[in-house]
Structure 1
Amino acid sequence: MPWIAAGTAVAYTSGLMLLNEAWYKDSPRSSFHWFNDAHEWKQLDKAGHAWGSFHLSRLGVDVLRAAGVSEKKAVWYGGAVGFAMLTPIEYFDGRSPTYGASLSDIAANATGSLLVIGQQLAWQELRIVPKYSFHRTRYAAFRPNLLGNGLAEEMLKDYNGHTYWLSVDVAKFLPASSSYPKWLNVAPGYGAEEMVYNDPDSNRAAGFHAYRQYYLSVDLNWKAIPTQSKFLKSTFYVLSIFKFPAPALEYNRRQGWKAHALYF
């Protein structure tokens, strides 16, 4: 296991440096402090924390299993990786005068890790996988310093374009004799729009009225595609982080029900 620990440490340190460069580079520093941001961004940022923590924990479990670590240790130690790697980022937020360390972020990190551990303990596999999709919106142009300037930054910062899904492997819940296609998952999703300011009162004062969006779609189960290629298996593993573009049904309080022929 030493090589695993060393590789993880290098990757984690590099990731923190990249995050600091992308998010905090031009920000002033303050003394460490806490801030309650649970009411902001319609909780899309919390969904992002849970999503990131889940997939880091998923990777942690799979790496430890491949290294021959016992099943119990692989699930518990690997499953804790997401929480352990994302929670120290709160230190950066806690040193930023415009943010602050967030207990609700920490709770979201824990949720992602526990979703991995719970499923592994219950089913020895993952049947419900959080996924992310993104589309560009007009709102980033109002505050590019906060919501991102260009596609790469907007994918990280513009919560208006974020949608988070729970991709359910329906076939795993049915009898083995079922004819349901193993490659077809069902995915409820959640998003929100018209969020230009993180604080709801400031957002309304500027004339923006944020609203939630609820989706139902289908998703591609990459794990169900048979292949002996290690390259394709690795590619499918990475692609399973993201929701596959597909038709979707949306409900929101503004327009009611909406159908999307293809939703990202």
Structure 2
Amino acid sequence: MKKTTCFCLLFALFFSVFSYAQTEEPEKSSFFKPSDTLNVKRKNGLLIAESALFLTSFVVLDKQWYNGNEKTSFHFTSKSNEFGLMDKIGHGFSSYKITRLTAKAFYWSGESEKKQLIYGAAFGLGATTGKEILDGFTKEWGWSWYNFGANFVGTGLYVGQELLWKEQRIQPKFSYNNSKSKGVVTNTMGSGYLDRVLKNYDGQTYWLSFNVNSFAKTDYIPNWLNFSVGYGVDGYLHNADATILPTRSKSLYLSLDVDLTKIKTKSHFVNTLLVLFNSVKIPAPTLEINSKKGTFGHYMYF
């Protein structure tokens, strides 16, 4: 449920934040090229587009996503591990990505480094925390302090690295393996593939991808080479499905990855796409350490 919202915000944000400045004359500057100095038109356009997106998304969510769910007074939930922590990790992932894309958008406008981080953190935390407030008024879910804390972890991961290193040496990534759902269809999933990607906890894997040369500082390791540590679960489709999938397990994954942001091209448009697609873990040979099945390898895992 929570990842559906966050991913929608993520992709909608990416495409909307750049839309305002399309009226710039092409001979004055390349559209995707970041401004060397503050471009007020770009900045104002970003503020308008993102604020409108921020407000509209919650109206749509309240009318569409929560439609059919019983509303109640604001309340809390004490559930912390019903999905094997996958929902919490999803919150952190989404908060990081929205924070980063927003900060990059304001970098494109020529805004100062300090304000890039302020705007990024404001929209990253605002989007994910606002969604949690809506949960608080829904009988089935409720406000979760664990989810709220995960939002800060995600945003803090981006902001902290910028303050410490001026670069993102550690990046959260995502992959999805539909075969892990074991063909079980539940009322928590939609019928489409995208619905399953966003709602099927069993098929999801979240990664922390470490850029090797950012730490090693060598001349012989490719700048794009990453080492990734992943986490996933099996049998956590939903509490109500425990009788269908009684055996639950958790897995730690060790794999290689590629940091697409380290691949620089002469095209600002291509560079922008690489930043976007860097959210996805590259398929690679992987070692899995499973709490039930032990340790084994995958020739290629996604």
Name 1:241's counterpart in structure 2.
279
Structure-to-structure mapping, 1:37-116, within 5 angstroms:
37-116=79-158
Residue from 235, 244, 247 that aligns with 1:194: 235
CA positional deviation for 1:17: 5.1
Structure-to-structure mapping, 1:1-264, within 5 angstroms:
1-16=43-58, 19-20=61-62, 23-137=65-179, 139=181, 142-175=184-217, 177-198=218-239, 204=242, 208-264=246-302
Contact 2:180–2:203 (8 Å) recurs in 1 = no
For residues 158 and 21 of structure 1, the distance between their equivalents in structure 2, rounded to whole angstroms, comes to: 23
Residues 1:63 and 1:47: Cα distance change in structure 2 (over 3 Å): same
For residues 64 and 196 of structure 1, the distance between their equivalents in structure 2, rounded to whole angstroms, comes to: 38
Task: State the SS of the aligned residue for 2:85.
Answer: helix
User: Size of the alignment, in residue pairs?
Assistant: 260
For residues 221 and 245 of structure 2, the distance between their equivalents in structure 1, rounded to whole angstroms, comes to: 48
TM-score by length of 2: 0.79
CA positional deviation for 1:57: 0.7
CA positional deviation for 1:203: 5.7
TM-score by length of 1: 0.90
* Structure 1 residues 163-199: Cα deviation after superposition (integer angstroms, max 9, x where no partner): 0001111111122x4200112111000000111333x
Contact 1:140–1:147 (8 Å) recurs in 2 = no
Aligned AA (1:245) = P
For residues 107 and 140 of structure 1, the distance between their equivalents in structure 2, rounded to whole angstroms, comes to: 32
Aligned CA RMSD, in angstroms, stands at 2.1
For residues 156 and 70 of structure 1, the distance between their equivalents in structure 2, rounded to whole angstroms, comes to: 34
For residues 124 and 89 of structure 1, the distance between their equivalents in structure 2, rounded to whole angstroms, comes to: 30
Aligned AA (1:237) = V
Contact 2:201–2:237 (8 Å) recurs in 1 = no
Contact 2:83–2:236 (8 Å) recurs in 1 = yes
Which runs of no fewer than 5 residues in structure 2 stay unpaired?
1-42
CA positional deviation for 1:246: 1.3
When structure 1 is superposed on structure 2, of 177-186 and 135-144 the one drifting more is 135-144
Task: State the SS of the aligned residue for 2:229.
Answer: strand
CA positional deviation for 1:91: 2.2
Task: State the SS of the aligned residue for 2:251.
Answer: strand
CA positional deviation for 1:138: 5.9
Task: State the SS of the aligned residue for 2:156.
Answer: helix
Contact 2:181–2:203 (8 Å) recurs in 1 = no
For residues 180 and 246 of structure 2, the distance between their equivalents in structure 1, rounded to whole angstroms, comes to: 13
Residues 1:73 and 1:127: Cα distance change in structure 2 (over 3 Å): same
CA positional deviation for 1:230: 2.3
Aligned AA (1:58) = R
Contact 1:203–1:209 (8 Å) recurs in 2 = no
Contact 1:140–1:196 (8 Å) recurs in 2 = no
Which runs of no fewer than 5 residues in structure 1 stay unpaired?
none
CA positional deviation for 1:63: 1.8
For residues 186 and 238 of structure 2, the distance between their equivalents in structure 1, rounded to whole angstroms, comes to: 11
For residues 140 and 179 of structure 2, the distance between their equivalents in structure 1, rounded to whole angstroms, comes to: 24
